[in-house]
Structure 1
Amino acid sequence: MTQNVVISGYGWLASYVGNALSGKVNIVGTTRSQQKRLALQDQGITAIEYALGEDTSALCNHLPNATLLLNIPPGRRNTDLASYTNNMLQLIDAAISVKVAHIVFISTTSVYGDATNEVVSEVSTTQPQTASAKAHVTIEDYLLSKRGKVDISIVRLAGLVGPDRHPARSLSGKQLDAGNKRINLVHVYDIVSALTTIICGKPLNDVIHLCSLSHPKRGIYYVDAAKAMDIDAPRFSDTEAEPAGKVIDAAQSWARLNITPEYSDPYRMF
């Protein structure tokens, strides 16, 4: 029987994952718009109109023995994080109630906050500072409490980069501080390699990091990236100061997945 992979939140990242899984599994994707649903159907994807908090019946029809990839961020403009969190927990409960086999949750390395200058491993204590990060920690903890009922894989992503996406573009021409802060980035192609391994292989029942393996200062890196992209470079203060900020250590996670990230060096990302 072909495996069902249900991707809840078929956005930018999901499109890359879906392309990689095409032909290997049966993909079901959710979207909030009719236009996007029709576009997904044209790509051969079973598409469902669904927004977080709505009735889950149609979605649950596809979930028995399936892998559910939860890729629904709260959104930058969402101020009701309590509602977002509760709706996510209810979706998780609904999936478990119909015997979903495996839940893969896309989380974020922002769960560690920005107050530390330490190297952060997969077992480091979370210190969420923003409402979004706190919501992610709550969802992570809830999922981990369900181990035994369902297989769980929690994937904490660093800052996203792709062929059509790089932070240097949004920073172009700006005057910024903390040029000595270290960067933590991950390329979408490496994310896809990891998620394909997790979905098509053995569930983790644990937490992993996905991040590059080097962490230059942002005041150097983003200036170099802007020059390479031929856009106005940002200007940073404090670049000459000692490196500061957290370092996301993903070495053990990549080793666990038996993956050598193609973009382990952020300088390969532009």
Structure 2
Amino acid sequence: MTSVSIIGLGWLGLPLANYLKENNFEVKGSTTSPEKMEKLNAKGISTFLLKLLPHPEGKGFMKLFESDILFMNVPPRSRTMPETFHPEQIKFLKSMALQTGVKKIIYISSTSIYPDQNRELDETFTLTKENTGNTALYQAENILLQDQDYDLSIIRFGGLLGVDRVPGKYFSGKINVIGDSPVNYIHRDDAVGISSWVIEKNLWNQVFNGVAPFHPKRKLVYEKNALDLGFPPPSSYAPEGDSTWKQLSSQKIQSSGYEFKIPDPLDFWYS
């Protein structure tokens, strides 16, 4: 039985753990909360306490690194922490993985790593320290790519939405909202779907964009959310053409045979 350790049993990690468990994988994971650890252990998911501050703190967490596959799902917290914080977290995870001889790693990155260039971009785009849209993620990816003693795949997810994350809610009643650029969103169902697909199909040593194939304009999404869920849309929008943007292609993951469950962000379901 293949074992998978998920660093971060949160909004994405927990549904992925449940899916893998149902499909005969041995699953372990980490959480930063003792209460959550007890609940998850009671549900049959071996859970360990691990905080990356950025150095690791917790209890018994080295057992997480005794796994065939390590799934690194650590949000970079770039708004509240210096940009060196997330790369340091990844450096510690990598050294523990090397110490225990982990053979396969999936790192969850984000499409914010790409610069805004007012065009479509795909995984062949050459990122540099100078052009990246997210320095912390760029450094973290490179830490994992250097001196590799394991297979590594990187999934760069777009805006992770659906369920209780409603894009229009964040802009409800706001003024001067950018409405004319295309969205790069993915529903949680597909984020779980792509993550498990990479594991099940052994798609190693590759980079994938995890983004829904349709890219409606932001305004359409916000207005539809407001209408469907009964809250006010944005009060006003910024003049068209004011903002820079990017549109990310998901052609590569689709070419591997993955079929999106919800390809259009206008069809996302919310709880």
TM-score normalised over the length of structure 2: 0.89
Mapping for residues 246-261 of structure 1, pairs under 5 Å? 246-256=246-256, 258-261=257-260
Deviation at 1:243, TM superposition (A): 9.1
Name the CA distance, whole Å, in 2 between partners of 1:106 and 1:209.
10
Deviation at 1:77, TM superposition (A): 4.7
Count of residue correspondences: 263
**2:89 matched to 1:73?**
no
SS of the aligned residue for 2:169 comes to helix
Q: RMSD value over aligned CA atoms?
A: 2.1
Q: Which moved more, 1:210-219 or 1:236-245?
A: 236-245
**2:11 matched to 1:9?**
no
User: Equivalent residue for 1:139?
Assistant: 140
Deviation at 1:205, TM superposition (A): 0.3
Name the CA distance, whole Å, in 2 between partners of 1:104 and 1:56.
22
Name the CA distance, whole Å, in 1 between partners of 2:252 and 2:243.
23
Pick closer, same or farther for the CA change 1:260–1:243 going to 2, 3 Å.
farther
Name the CA distance, whole Å, in 2 between partners of 1:236 and 1:245.
19
Mapping for residues 237-252 of structure 1, pairs under 5 Å? 237-238=237-238, 241=241, 245-252=245-252
Name the CA distance, whole Å, in 1 between partners of 2:14 and 2:266.
24
Deviation at 1:67, TM superposition (A): 0.6
Name the CA distance, whole Å, in 2 between partners of 1:203 and 1:245.
29
Deviation at 1:57, TM superposition (A): 8.4
User: Equivalent residue for 1:216?
Assistant: 216
Asked if 1 retains the 8 angstrom alpha-carbon contact of 2:119 and 2:246, the reply is yes
**2:158 matched to 1:154?**
no
Name the CA distance, whole Å, in 2 between partners of 1:241 and 1:177.
12
Mapping for residues 77-88 of structure 1, pairs under 5 Å? 77-88=79-90
Pick closer, same or farther for the CA change 1:243–1:73 going to 2, 3 Å.
closer
Deviation at 1:128, TM superposition (A): 2.6
Q: Percent identity?
A: 26
**2:35 matched to 1:35?**
yes
User: Equivalent residue for 1:109?
Assistant: 111
Name the CA distance, whole Å, in 1 between partners of 2:251 and 2:242.
23
**2:133 matched to 1:118?**
no
Asked if 1 retains the 8 angstrom alpha-carbon contact of 2:48 and 2:64, the reply is no
Deviation at 1:218, TM superposition (A): 0.9
TM-superposition CA deviations, 1:232-254 (whole Å, max 9, x none): 11134246559961001111222
Deviation at 1:199, TM superposition (A): 1.7
Asked if 2 retains the 8 angstrom alpha-carbon contact of 1:30 and 1:49, the reply is yes
SS of the aligned residue for 2:180 comes to coil
TM-superposition CA deviations, 1:85-137 (whole Å, max 9, x none): 12311211220221102110000000013x310111011133334xxx21111
Amino acid at match of 1:73: P
Pick closer, same or farther for the CA change 1:164–1:209 going to 2, 3 Å.
same
**2:238 matched to 1:268?**
no
Amino acid at match of 1:111: I
Deviation at 1:65, TM superposition (A): 4.7
Asked if 2 retains the 8 angstrom alpha-carbon contact of 1:160 and 1:166, the reply is no
Name the CA distance, whole Å, in 2 between partners of 1:262 and 1:225.
19
**2:132 matched to 1:128?**
yes
User: Equivalent residue for 1:26?
Assistant: 26
Asked if 1 retains the 8 angstrom alpha-carbon contact of 2:158 and 2:211, the reply is yes
Name the CA distance, whole Å, in 2 between partners of 1:168 and 1:71.
25
Asked if 1 retains the 8 angstrom alpha-carbon contact of 2:5 and 2:27, the reply is yes
Amino acid at match of 1:106: I
Asked if 2 retains the 8 angstrom alpha-carbon contact of 1:4 and 1:67, the reply is yes
SS of the aligned residue for 2:252 comes to helix
Name the CA distance, whole Å, in 2 between partners of 1:168 and 1:236.
13
Name the CA distance, whole Å, in 1 between partners of 2:107 and 2:43.
24
